[in-house]
Every structure is written in C-alpha cells, then in structure tokens.
Amino acid sequence: MEYKPLVIPDVVLLIPKVFGDERGFFMETFRHEEFIKYCGNYQFVQDNHSSSKQGILRGLHYQHQKPQGKLVRVTRGEVFDVAVDMRRDSPSFGRWVGEYLSETNKRMLWVPPGFAHGFYVTSESAEFQYKCTDYYNPGDEYSLLWNDDTVGINWPLSVGPTLSAKDQESQLFANCPYFASSS
C-alpha cells in the first residue's frame, strides 16, 4: 500500500497494490500497523455501506463532540470525495481536498477526525464503504453546506446534485461549530 498525504497532509490517499490476472484480482485493503505509521493511532469501531444513484451528493457531514475519522472507498462506480478542515487552529482551516475514488482505481481516502466529509456520485450508481473511529451519534451530527462560497469546493457536477432533506438544511461555514484544536 502506498500512503500519499494530500495538499492537506492529514488527509491521506491510500493506493493499494492490486494483483490481477484473467481470473480477477486481489488486494489488501487494510493493515493496522501500517495505518498507524502513516495516518495515526486510530481504532475503527463501525463499518458502513451506502448505495447512491448518479447526481446524489451526500454531505458534508461531521460529528462535533464525538468526531469520526473515516477510511473511505468505493466498491462499485465512482465518486468525487471531499474533506473540509474544520479545525480552527489548523493551517488548512476552511480548506478542502477532493479525490476521485472508484471501483477501477481502488483508492481509499483517510479523512481524520475534525473534518467535514461528503461525496458526489459521478457514475450511474456507486457503492460507498467506510470504517469509522467512533460510533454514529445522531444528536451530534452537523452538516456544512455543500456549495458554500467561503469554502469554494469545485464539484464536478454533471447532473443534480440531489440532496437529502437534511443536507438541504446544512449550515454555512461561518455558522458551523469548529473544532478547537488541530491536535
């Protein structure tokens, strides 16, 4: 596995070694000791799996009191995956990074606690799977508005986006609760 820090270095792109032939492929998707070395000492407690149609935009979500780190990947289709730094003391506070994740490139993205996270489905449909460092806590859920001009995410929209009712009520960056420290 190659671990590639992005423009916001706490967000890491994981590029697996894929071994394939006419029968199919094999790849390792997680090795705890390497993850600790390149991404930090985190334990995963919950795995999630979602399916979405083209044009669906989910996010930008985060939990404030019980922040979740997420190791995300796409097992069918393609998404444009985005992380926004919500850590007030961070040098990249308010900045975003985005990567295409797909069943073809098999890449994964580590989004540490302290970031808002979301994705836009660019293929006909997509299956999105992710590991979390803390449990889902509905009373602690926040959503940053996907098209806030302050953040300026350059979404690759071809259709939509289609948002959930909850995501339509997301907050502007200026009104969101931030994390007090980048540590």
Residues marked active site are found at 61, 130
Query: What does the alpha-carbon distance between residue 121 and residue 134 come to, in Å, rounded to a whole number?
Result: 25
Query: What does the alpha-carbon distance between residue 105 and residue 77 come to, in Å, rounded to a whole number?
Result: 10
**Residue 167 falls in which region: left (phi positive, over 0), alpha (psi -120 to 50) or beta:** alpha
CB-based contacts of 177: which residues, under 8 Å, 6+ apart? 64, 142
- What tokens appear for 59 in the block? 């996010």
CA angle 156–157–158, rounded 5-degree value: 115
